[in-house]
Amino acid sequence: MLRLSGISIRNTLRGLDLTVGRDEFVLVIGANGAGKTTLFNIISGAAIPAAGKIFFNDRDVTALPQHKRAKWISSVLQDPRQGTVAEMTILENLALSYMRNSHKRITKSTVELFKKKLSVLEMNLENRLSERAGDLSGGQRQALSLIMATVADYDLLLLDEITSSLDQKNSLMVMRIAEKVVTTEKKACMLITHDANHIKYFNGRVLEMKNGALASC
Amino acid sequence: MFSELVTSVNVGLIFGVAAIGIYITFRTINFADLTCDGSFVTGAAVSAVLVKAGGDPYFALIASLFAGGLAGAATGLLNVKCKIADLLAGIIVAFMLYSINLRIMHNSPNITFIDNTTVFTNNNILLTTIFILIPIVLCLIFMLFSGFGLKLRATGYNKKFALSSGINIATMTVAGVVISNALVAFAGSLFAQYQGFCDVSQGAGTLITGLTAVVIGEKILQFKKEPFLLLSCLLGAVLYRIFINIALHGDTLGVRTQDINLITGLIIIAVITMKRREKCSGSPV
């Protein structure tokens, strides 16, 4: 479904090749500075490669801007402050994500869907829809971003160091939620982490990033 | 005294529309737009020329909306297509608008049309303003609550999030600046019809007075739901006018008309500083 061929960008990635199949779970590990986030940005469209091509469902998307790729690619960012809009309510945040790839209207049944999705978190967020996302804790906001990433249809879910700005307790909780989401959604997902301990939460292909290239391990 | 209060409220409401426009750029989409000093006059000029030629005054108001929107589109496109910084793009367009406004006014620096029929002729002035404002404010509130409004606001708050949520930031930025300048021009148009007069340099200071209205309004009416903050822009603009009126009439204060800019500047500095201090003390360090 996703295919990268010969991707290079300055000194970070050097002729990188990668194929991710439909429903496949891929875990990318590597030290800080290995180029994990750059790889992520290349896939999401936030960065444009100097050389190489990106194919999505056999379509060349190398030149497609990030906001257009958002139709198929859903992502959760490192920093929960960036993954949610602090000044907007939980409902508005969910609505924005829900409208990501269509002009669907928010109706009563959509709100019920949001509530059902939020109830998985067991944080009582489903009853706090009109509160501002900025009033939530970092862990709650990151959990909310995970739900936001899955309210609209997508083909590939990108999780980039989603626990790096959380304390140990919260990062454990967010990882458990991520595992729950990934197993129930059964869609292609790439998780980037520098913490090898995260491997135990997921079943899937593990790749190590070293010097701008990927190797299985 | 009462009639002066009514005048202040009326002028305040007219400038309130400009303040709403300024709110949309400065707050909603976080775009420091200085086009408004020019687009205010564009609206006034369009109104003056059309009304003077015997055109329908309501049509003149709508024509100003479009003229202002065009000016906004120029600024927005300079920013997103030519990658010129927001401040500079606005300054350049406002600068160029001076020439364009003179062209619209058939090369005369001011137009008097006090004898022509305007929206205020034979009507109660304050009620007319209110009747004109109601549909505009309702449309704007509806717009900000819609899916489009959500995207517009998300663009201003968090660009990174907006991009990953499939929002086209360039389109939203241009849309925001267009709506803003359309409103500013509309205010200019209504103000010109109220005065029966239009001057090519009357736009100077639109931004600062509008921004003052915005910050006063935010300070006094702290709405939780952002779309309703538009109402606080209107209230802020009215309060600002009343305040200036009182300052000018208190002979004991010794304030003169030429001191208005100084006083306005001091008000805006004071309110912004107060806000900053509250924010700092409120957040844990």
Mind listing the pLDDT tens digit of every residue in chain B (285 residues)?
788 889 999 999 999 999 999 999 999 999 999 999 999 999 999 999 999 999 999 999 999 999 999 999 999 999 999 999 999 999 999 999 999 999 999 999 999 999 999 999 988 999 999 999 999 999 999 998 888 999 999 999 999 999 989 999 999 999 999 999 999 999 999 999 999 999 999 998 899 999 999 988 888 877 777 777 888 999 999 999 998 888 887 666 777 888 888 888 888 888 888 877 766 544 333
C-alpha B41/C-alpha B191 separation (Å) is: 10
Beta carbons of B169 and A95 less than 8 Å apart? no
Nearest CB among A44, A71, A85 relative to B161 is that of A85
Beta carbons of A82 and B150 less than 8 Å apart? no
DSSP-derived letter for residue B26 is I
Q: Which residues contact A141 (CB under 8 A, 6 or more apart)?
A: A80, A81, A83, A84, A133
Task: Return the bridge partners of B175, or none.
Answer: none
Contacts of B147 in chain A (CB under 8 A): 95, 99, 103, 105-106
Dihedral of the CA atoms B145, B148, B149, B152 (nearest 10)? 160
Residue A43: closest C-alpha in chain B: B164
Nearest CB among A44, A103, A105 relative to B164 is that of A44
Instruction: Give the residue among B40, B93, B27, B31 at the shortest CA–CA distance from B227.
Output: B27
How much is the pLDDT for B285?
30
Domain ranges of chain B: 2-201
Count the neighbouring beta carbons within 10 Å of the beta carbon of residue A140: 22
DSSP-derived letter for residue A23 is T
Q: Which residues contact A108 (CB under 8 A, 6 or more apart)?
A: none
C-alpha A211/C-alpha A203 separation (Å) is: 25
Instruction: Give the residue among A91, A82, A137 at the shortest CA–CA distance from A112.
Output: A91
Beta carbons of B150 and A75 less than 8 Å apart? no
pTM for the model? 0.90
Alpha-carbon torsion B199, B204, B207, B209, what sign?
negative
Contacts of B80 in chain A (CB under 8 A): none
A108 vs B: CB within 8 A: no
Query: At residue A211, what are phi and psi to the nearest 5 degrees?
Result: 50, 40
C-alpha B58/C-alpha B64 separation (Å) is: 10
Measured CA to CA in angstroms, residue B122 lies from A43, A131, B90, B117, B118 at distances of 65, 49, 38, 9, 9
C-alpha B96/C-alpha A71 separation (Å) is: 40
Mutate to test the interface with B, among A67, A147, A162 (most CBs of B within 10 A): A67
Mutate to test the interface with A, among B165, B225, B226 (most CBs of A within 10 A): B165
Nearest CB among B147, B153, B164 relative to A66 is that of B164
How much is the pLDDT for A175?
86
C-alpha B41/C-alpha B185 separation (Å) is: 7
How much is the pLDDT for B98?
96
Quick check: B71 and B78 in contact, CB under 8 A?
Answer: no
Q: Which residues contact B232 (CB under 8 A, 6 or more apart)?
A: B217, B218, B220, B221, B222, B223
How much is the pLDDT for A213?
78
Count the neighbouring beta carbons within 10 Å of the beta carbon of residue B256: 9
Beta carbons of B163 and A96 less than 8 Å apart? no
Instruction: Give the residue among B217, B206, B276, B277 at the shortest CA–CA distance from B243.
Output: B217
Beta carbons of B165 and A84 less than 8 Å apart? no
Nearest CB among B150, B160, B162 relative to A95 is that of B150
Nearest CB among B158, B160, B165 relative to A100 is that of B165
How many residues in total does chain A contain? 217
Nearest CB among A67, A88, A99 relative to B163 is that of A67
Residue B170: closest C-alpha in chain A: A67
Dihedral of the CA atoms B124, B130, B135, B140 (nearest 10)? 150
How much is the pLDDT for A217?
67
Nearest CB among B153, B165, B226 relative to A70 is that of B165
How much is the pLDDT for B56?
95
Buried b (16+ CB within 10 A) or exposed e, A102-137: eeeebeeebeeebeebbebbebebbebbeebbeebe
Beta carbons of B153 and A88 less than 8 Å apart? yes
Mutate to test the interface with B, among A66, A90, A105, A150 (most CBs of B within 10 A): A66
Contacts of B158 in chain A (CB under 8 A): 82, 84-86
- Residue B199: enclosing H or E segment and its boundaries? strand B197-199
How much is the pLDDT for A164?
81
> In the A/B pair of chains, how many CB contacts fall below 8 A?
60
3-state secondary structure of A27: strand
C-alpha B8/C-alpha A180 separation (Å) is: 61
**pLDDT per residue as tens digits for the range B105-137:** 999 999 999 999 999 998 899 999 999 999 999
- What string of pLDDT tens digits covers the 217 residues of chain A? 899 988 888 778 888 889 998 888 898 888 877 888 888 899 999 888 999 999 998 899 999 999 999 989 999 988 888 889 998 999 999 999 998 877 778 888 889 989 998 988 888 888 999 899 999 988 899 999 999 998 988 999 999 888 888 888 888 888 888 888 888 888 899 998 877 777 777 778 888 888 777 877 6
Beta-strand runs (E) in chain A: 2-9, 13-20, 25-29, 51-56, 59-60, 73-76, 156-160, 188-193, 205-210, 213-216
| Residue matched to tokens 């010794």 | B254
C-alpha A65/C-alpha A72 separation (Å) is: 12
Beta carbons of A86 and B157 less than 8 Å apart? yes
